Amino acid sequence: MANGPFVGAIGLCFCIIITWLPITWQEHPSFVRPVHAAISFHPVGLLVYQGQINADSWSNQASSNDSLQAAVDEYKSRYHRLPPPNFDKWFEYAKDRNCTTINDYDQIYEDLLPFWGVKPSLIRKRSTIFHKNSGFISIQIDKEKVDIVHVSEEYTHLDSPIINMINSFATWLPQMQIVLNPSPSPQIALPSSSLASLEATGRRSEHIEESETIITTWATLSKWGPLTAVESGRPVSPISRHVSRWDAYMAPSCSWSSPARSHPHTSRALCTSCFAPYSVGQFMRNISLSLDPCLQPDLRTVSSFLSSPATVPNTGYPADALIPIFSSRKIEGYNDILFPLPGTYVPSTPASDPNLSLSVPSQKPFVELRDVLYWRGEAPSSGLGAHDWQGVSEQRLVTLAHQAPDDEKIPILLPFDSTGKKYEYGYVRLAAISDQIEVDAGFTGVPEKNCHREGECRAQREHFGTNGTLGNSDEARYSSRYILATDVSEPKEFLKSVVSRSVAVRSGIFKSWYEKRLTPWIHYIPLDMRWQGLHSTMAYFMGLSGTVKGEQVSMDARVKEAQWIADQGKARAESVIREADAEVYLFRLLLEWGRIVDDYRDEVGFVLKE
C-alpha cells in the first residue's frame, strides 16, 4: 500500500469504526437535514484509507501474471472461455510495451457479452450498412491494411492516430469492419428484457474445454460485405421531440424491480434515496453504484444527457436492435463498446493536434496554485419541462456558486468540540463560507436558440447573467488547485487534469475504457451530481473557520493530503493509461471482436502448446 499523509491513526482504528455513518435524512425544499450523533473521524479519511486498499488490490489482481501459461489460466478462470487466437502474440505485445495490466479486461467482457447472443453473420451485416451523414467512421482491416472511411468529414483529425495504433498489431487480426462513433454521446441502449436474453445466450455459450476440434486460427475469411452507406434505412419508429432519453432509452434498459422503473422521481426535490446506496452521509463511497442510473430515478432531471430529447440512433436499424457501435465513453445501461480514442490516453509524445493534446501550461508548485475549485463548460441542453433547466446538474452548480439566495443555508460537516476530532453537521449560510470554499464555476455560453420551451433560453440568460458568458483558458484552469470535470466537459478534460499538478475532481455518470484503472479518493476526488456534498468535501481539503450554531469552529486545510492525491493520480495515469496501454487494450478488444464475428466462434480459440 502506498504510504501517504492519510495513513496513521485511521488505519489503526478502521476496523473498529462503526459501519459508515448512522445517518437518517429528512427532506426540505432547499436542503437536506441530517440527523445523527457526532462521529470521531472524518469520513473522507476513512474513504481514502479504503481507497488505498482498493487501488492496491486492483493493481495486484490486474498484473500478477508474468508467464503466458499463467495469463491463459487466469483468462479461463475469469471469462470461462479459451482465449482468442493469437493470444500469445497479444501477451508478447503487452510485455514489449511494459504493460502491467495483463489480467483485468473485465470492461471488454462486459461490453461484448451481449454480442455472443447475436449471429456472427448478422453482426457483420450490421457493421457494413449505415446511414450517410451519420457521423460514424468505418474502420476496415484486411490483410494488415487499415483503412478509414468517413461518412462525415468532421473527425478526420482522428485518422492518423487510429491507423497508426491498429497498424502496430494488424498482422495478427482477421478481416473485419468496425463502426466507430467519435462523438461523446453513446448511441445504443436495449430494453432490459432484450439485453438479458442476449447475455443469457452468451453465458450459455461459455466453455473452456480443449479438444481436437478447437480451431486455433481465424476461420471466417472474406465474408464481409462491401461498406454500404445508404440514404435511408428501413422504416424506424419515430420518437416524439417531447420524449427524453431517459424515458425512451434509459428507463427501459433498467429492470422492472429497479428504482428507475418502480419508483419514478419526477420533481426537482432532492432525492435522498437516490444517492444513499453509494454514499456515506454526504460523501461518495461506491463509485460503481454511483454510475448506475437504474438506481437513481432523479437522473431523469439531474443529468443533462438523460433529460434531453431522445433521438433515433442514425444506424438504419430500429432503436432496440443491438448494433455494434464503438464509442469513447458511455453510460451504464448503454450498449456501446468502449474504444480508446485518441484523447482518452496519455500520448507517448505530445500530440500536435490541440484537439487531442493533454499538454497543460507550465504550472506553479502545488502550494502556490489558487485554492479554488474551477469549472467551465457550455450550458447543456435542459430537460423537456418549462423549468427543467433549474434541476440539471451543471445549472445547479453555477447557481450554487453565484446565484444562491443570501439566506441559503446548507448542512456541512465540521468539528464542534475543542479537540477538533468530533464531527457534526451544522447549517451554515452559503454566502458566509463562499470566500473560504471558493467555487469558480461558470458557463462559457448559454443557449441562444433551440430551447425546448419558448422563453427558456431567455430565462437562463437572465438568471445566469455574466456567469453565463465567462471566459475559459488553460491558464486560468491550471492555475487552480482543484479542477472539476462533469459530463458536459470534453472527454479529454478529466484525464488532462489527472496528469496535471492540480487535483482532478469528477462528477458524472459517463465512463471511459480506463474507468477501473483510477480509484476515487486516491487518484481524484469524486463529487455527487446533486452537489449535496460539495462544500463538506471541499472544506475537508480547503479548511474552514467561523461561527456555527453559536460556536466557533475551525478545520485546518489539508494541503499535503490534496497534493498527495494529485501526485497519485498523475503517477497512476502515466503508468496504466499510457498510449501503450491503450494500444494493448485495443489489440485485446479487436482479438475478442474478431472471434465474435467468426462463424465458427464456438470452436475458435487459443491453446498453449506444451
52 confidence band (pLDDT: 50, 70, 90): very high
Average pLDDT over residues 164-193: 94
77 confidence band (pLDDT: 50, 70, 90): very high
Looking at residue 192, what is its pLDDT? 95
CA distance 585 to 338: 10
Percent of the chain with pLDDT over 90: 61
Q: Out of 197-206, 343-352, 430-439, 444-453, pick the least confident.
A: 444-453
Element (H, E) at 330: strand 330-331
Looking at residue 458, what is its pLDDT? 82
- Closest among 504, 605, 511 to 563, alpha carbons compared: 504
Cell of 394: 451543471
Question: For the chain, what is the total number of helices (H) and then of strands (E)?
Answer: 23, 22
Q: How crowded is the C-beta side of 132, counted as CA atoms within 13 Å?
A: 4
Cell of 290: 454511483
CA distance 569 to 520: 10
- Closest among 193, 200, 183 to 118, alpha carbons compared: 200
Looking at residue 277, what is its pLDDT? 93
Cβ count within 10 A of residue 305: 24
CA distance 139 to 121: 18
What's the pLDDT tens digit per position in 36-45?
A: 567 888 999 9
Q: Out of 141-150, 230-239, 424-433, pick the least confident.
A: 230-239
Looking at residue 493, what is its pLDDT? 94
pLDDT at 193 over 50: yes
| Average of per-residue pLDDT values in the chain | 87
Average pLDDT over residues 518-529: 98
Looking at residue 219, what is its pLDDT? 76
More confident: 12 or 399: 399
Looking at residue 174, what is its pLDDT? 94
457 confidence band (pLDDT: 50, 70, 90): confident
Percent of the chain with pLDDT over 70: 87
Q: Out of 165-174, 414-423, 575-584, pick the least confident.
A: 414-423
Cell of 157: 483529425
Q: Report which residue type is found at 31.
A: F
Looking at residue 32, what is its pLDDT? 35
Average pLDDT over residues 100-122: 96
What's the pLDDT tens digit per position in 229-261?
A: 665 544 445 455 578 899 999 999 999 999 999
111 confidence band (pLDDT: 50, 70, 90): very high
Cβ count within 10 A of residue 143: 11
Question: In the chain, what is the greatest distance between 2 CA atoms, to the nearest angstrom?
Answer: 80
Handedness of CA 169, 174, 180, 184 (dihedral sign): negative
The answer to whether the CB of 283 falls within 8 A of the CB of 212 is no
Report CA Rg, the chain: 25
Strand partners, 426: 412
The answer to whether the CB of 235 falls within 8 A of the CB of 319 is no
115 confidence band (pLDDT: 50, 70, 90): very high
Helices 559-576, 534-542: inter-axial angle, 10-degree rounding: 100
- Closest among 511, 161, 487, 474 to 343, alpha carbons compared: 161
Which of 26-40, 412-426, 535-549 holds the top average pLDDT?
A: 535-549
Reported pTM: 0.92
Cα separations in angstroms, 271 against 21, 275, 529: 19, 7, 12
List all residues 6 or more positions away from 121 whose beta carbon is below 8 Å from its beta carbon.
223, 599
What's the pLDDT tens digit per position in 312-371?
A: 666 667 667 899 999 999 999 999 999 999 999 999 888 778 888 888 889 999 999 999
List all residues 6 or more positions away from 167 whose beta carbon is below 8 Å from its beta carbon.
144, 146
Cell of 312: 433515433
Domains of the chain: 356-576 (3.40.50)
Q: What is the DSSP annotation of 132-186?
A: TTS--EEEEEETTEEEEEESSSTTGGGHHHHHHHHHTTGGGSPSEEEEEE-SSS-
Looking at residue 451, what is its pLDDT? 72
23 confidence band (pLDDT: 50, 70, 90): very low
